[in-house]
Amino acid sequence: MSEQTAEGVRQRNLSRILRLVHLEGPLSRAALTESTGLNRSTIADLVAHLVRGGLVQELAPDRSRRVGRPSPVVAVDPRVLVISVNPEVDALTIAAVGLDRGIPIRERIDLEHLITPEETAALVAERIAAWRAGALADRRIVAVGLAVPGLVRAADGLVRNAPHLDWIDAPIRDLVAAATGLPTTVGNDASLGAIAEHLYGAARGIDNVVYLNGGASGIGGGLIVHGMPVGGAGGYAGEFGQNRPGIASDRDRRANSGVLEAEVSRARLLAVVARPSADEPTLAALLAATTLPDAIAELARQRGILATALANAVNVLNPSVVVLGGFLATIAERDLEGLTAAVGAHAMPASMEGLDIRVAVLAEDRLLIGAAEAAFADTLSDPQGSTAAQ
């Protein structure tokens, strides 16, 4: 029952320091003292505590031609890892991600057929065992994080429905946790992408973010409010793809439903450039260079509908930054001013004042980083508890 003071303050301060060096990179003890407002002696004690727990290292001071006694640099221990997993239709990506955001090892396993939850768990466990015996022999794997293209119930990591994987009510968290013996977190891929862009990408440090990602399977997204990811009651928040935005002219409507991801879709973009399929950079390059009137018109049509959907979100959430990823980035980049103006035409002027619509900057690592961040969450918020459990 000593949660209010003894452990409470200690845990809080340990967490703050670990988060700082995790998010900002290596920092001198003097810098930690300044940015936490804690006393020098307290910082020394807390850092020593984290060092004993194997979470951070103290390195030789930086040669920085500053006057005064040099301050040791505190850096995260790169040997602390989580395993990030991203099952997709045609492949499963699995990687080890360090507390320093390094990715010492990564594999993309091509799949002949749709992978089942059980196969996923077995495959993850098998890879971890192999890595532990090899490349990651001296590392410490503390958790597993999965980014799943589907609805994930936050309470128990149950995949309610991942249509492209054909997973329905798959207890993937428990399966992976049982197979690996590691604490496991599961999240929606787009929501984890939003977290990654918030922490390290286009929306770094921004407290109010709307993130939309366009993928082959549709449009997903995530929100950051109060500087925290928004899950909602069940963890299903951020599903912009199923929204129905107003469509000004019937000529712009293609689908009966009026659902955003039926109107604004990768398939329709592929169609206008007459390609059966293409990977994301290829499609982006094609569309950026095209002079086909039909393609330009289709981009403009989709941009217009996207603008209304974004304006709706801006009116409700008043974010500082809207981040667009996947093919939505391609649609936006061709005319970012036009998109911003179109959003402004439908959103309230006051909400537009502080708004910046940006393109995502994290590349293919985005989901791995997002999943890793979710997996690290426990360690970051309770460094000593997670150390003891080691």
Distance CA 333, CA 338 (A): 10
94 versus 328: smaller Cβ distance to a copy of itself: 328
Residue 52 interaction partner, one of DNA, a copy of itself, none, beta carbon < 5-8 Å per kind? none
What strand order describes the sheet that includes 167-170? Answer: 151-153, 158-162, 167-170
- 389 binding DNA? (CB under 7 A): no
Q: Identify residues 25-54 at the interface with DNA (CB under 7 A).
A: 28-30, 33, 37-46
Which residue in 119, 126, 137, 117 sits closest to 180, CA to CA? 126
Q: 247: Cβ–Cβ under 8 A, 6 or more apart, which residues?
A: 253, 258, 263, 305, 308
Residue from 264, 347, 357, 362 binding a copy of itself (CB under 8 A): 347
If one counts every other C-beta atom within 10 angstroms of the C-beta of residue 51, the result is 14
Q: Which residues pair with 151 in a beta bridge?
A: 161
B/e letters for 265-284, b = 16+ CB within 10 Å, e = fewer, are bbebbbebbeeeebebeebb
- 24 binding DNA? (CB under 7 A): no
Q: Are 191 and 237 in contact (CB under 8 A)?
A: yes
Residue 151 interaction partner, one of a copy of itself, DNA, none, beta carbon < 5-8 Å per kind? a copy of itself
Q: Are 184 and 198 in contact (CB under 8 A)?
A: no
Residue from 66, 132, 204, 275 binding DNA (CB under 7 A): 66
CB of 328 vs a copy of itself, minimal distance in Å: 15
130 versus 316: smaller Cβ distance to a copy of itself: 316
Q: Are 265 and 254 in contact (CB under 8 A)?
A: no
Burial of 336 per CB tally in 10 Å (0-12, 13-18, 19+): middle
Residue from 27, 50, 56, 71 binding DNA (CB under 7 A): 71
180 versus 308: smaller Cβ distance to a copy of itself: 308
Q: Identify residues 288-327 at the interface with a copy of itself (CB under 8 A).
A: 308, 311-313, 315-320
Q: Is 5 helix (H, G, I), strand (E, B) or coil?
A: coil
Part of the chain binding DNA (CB under 7 A), chosen from 64-72, 198-206, 245-253, 328-336? 64-72
Residue 33 interaction partner, one of a copy of itself, DNA, none, beta carbon < 5-8 Å per kind? DNA
12 versus 132: smaller Cβ distance to a copy of itself: 12
Residue 59 interaction partner, one of a copy of itself, DNA, none, beta carbon < 5-8 Å per kind? none
Distance CA 114, CA 87 (A): 9
Q: What residues make contact with DNA under the rule CB under 7 A?
A: 1-2, 4-7, 9-10, 13, 28-30, 33, 37-46, 61, 63, 65-72
Q: What residues make contact with a copy of itself under the rule CB under 8 A?
A: 1, 3-5, 8-9, 12-13, 36-39, 151, 153, 160-161, 207-208, 221, 223, 225-226, 228, 230-240, 242-248, 250, 258, 308, 311-313, 315-320, 346-348, 350-351, 353-355
